[in-house]
């Protein structure tokens, strides 16, 4: 899962990104509405945490433009009375969380939004492999798998693709953040570790020069 945090207070944005990363969620931050629209056009985000009162382009305008286009939108703002929540939802936001907030609730809401797509159930299964996206757990048969955040992200992305080919570039985009080096071998190195942990028989196929699939 990859999240875009749009918050004009840089310190708060940094704390949200740091907390999401600690929860195993790849996250980037931008600080105004214009940058949010640009970032959303360049990367496939699953969820956008969107402050409402933004410079450059107001958060309401950002929400109208992006709503229904792919990423789920969680409005995060100090304006949290009933009328404000209704306005935000009518603009196309999928959820609304007022400031101040409990960080555990923010993480739970982000994960819930990422699971709303009907084609991606909360528990992904293939053969004897099970990945519980809500609890961030994976197992093969009766054996629990001890996976890093990136290994879990790769496995989740491949399973969600349901046998379709996923390129290394797509994995880098969904599992890592905007600071990842596109010319590094981090995907292949992480894939090697993941395959070792999954064991035999092999579950992940490499299509040379094109990517990976379950």
Question: Tens digits of per-residue pLDDT, 18-29?
Answer: 999 888 888 899
Tens-digit pLDDT profile for residues 138-186: 999 889 999 888 898 888 888 887 788 888 888 887 787 666 666 678 8
Domain co-membership, 12 together with 105: yes
Distance CA 171, CA 153 (A): 8
Domain co-membership, 94 together with 154: no
SS3 195: helix
Q: How confident is the model at residue 43 (pLDDT cuts 50, 70, 90)?
A: confident
Q: Is 0.75 topped by the overall pTM?
A: no
Domain total of the chain: 2
What's the CA angle centered on 93, arms 137 and 80, to 5 degrees?
Answer: 100
SS3 198: helix
Question: What does the chain come to in residues?
Answer: 214
Tens-digit pLDDT profile for residues 199-208: 989 999 998 8
Domain co-membership, 107 together with 160: no
Rounded mean pLDDT of the chain?
84
CATH of residue 129's domain is 1.10.10.10
Over residues 133-138, the mean pLDDT reads: 78
Domain co-membership, 109 together with 27: yes
What's the confidence (pLDDT) of residue 140? 92
Phi and psi at residue 30, to the nearest 5°: -130, 165
107 pLDDT above the threshold of 80 = yes
Distance CA 91, CA 120 (A): 25
Domain co-membership, 110 together with 128: no
Positions of E strands within 71-207:
72-77, 95-98, 123-126, 129-132, 137-140, 143-145, 205-207
**Which residue segment(s) compose the domain that 152 sits in?**
123-213
Tens-digit pLDDT profile for residues 74-105: 988 776 565 666 665 667 888 888 888 899 99
CATH of residue 47's domain is 3.40.50.2300
Indicate the residue among 45, 79, 114 that finishes a domain.
114
What's the confidence (pLDDT) of residue 176? 77
Q: How confident is the model at residue 35 (pLDDT cuts 50, 70, 90)?
A: very high
């Amino acid at each position: 899962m990859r999240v875009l945090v749009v918050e004009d207070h840089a310190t708060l944005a940094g704390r949200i990104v740091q907390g999401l990363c600690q929860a195993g969620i790849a996250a980037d931050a931008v600080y105004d509405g214009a940058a949010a629209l640009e970032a959303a056009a360049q990367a496939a985000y699953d969820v956008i945490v969107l402050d409402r009162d933004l410079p450059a382009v107001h958060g309401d305008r950002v929400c109208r433009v992006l709503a229904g286009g792919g990423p789920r939108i969680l409005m995060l703002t100090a304006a949290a009375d009933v009328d404000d929540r209704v306005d935000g939802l009518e603009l196309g936001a999928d959820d609304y969380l007022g400031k101040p907030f409990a960080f555990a609730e923010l993480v739970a809401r982000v994960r819930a939004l990422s699971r709303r797509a009907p084609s991606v159930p909360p528990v992904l299964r293939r053969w004897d492999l099970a990945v519980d996206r809500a609890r961030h757990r994976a197992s093969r048969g009766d054996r629990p798998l001890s996976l890093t955040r990136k290994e879990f992200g790769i496995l989740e992305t491949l399973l969600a693709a349901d046998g379709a080919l996923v390129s290394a570039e797509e994995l880098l985009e969904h599992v890592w953040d905007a600071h990842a080096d596109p010319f590094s071998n981090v995907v292949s190195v992480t894939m090697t570790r993941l395959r070792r942990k999954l064991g035999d028989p092999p579950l992940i196929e490499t299509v040379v020069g094109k990517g990976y699939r379950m």
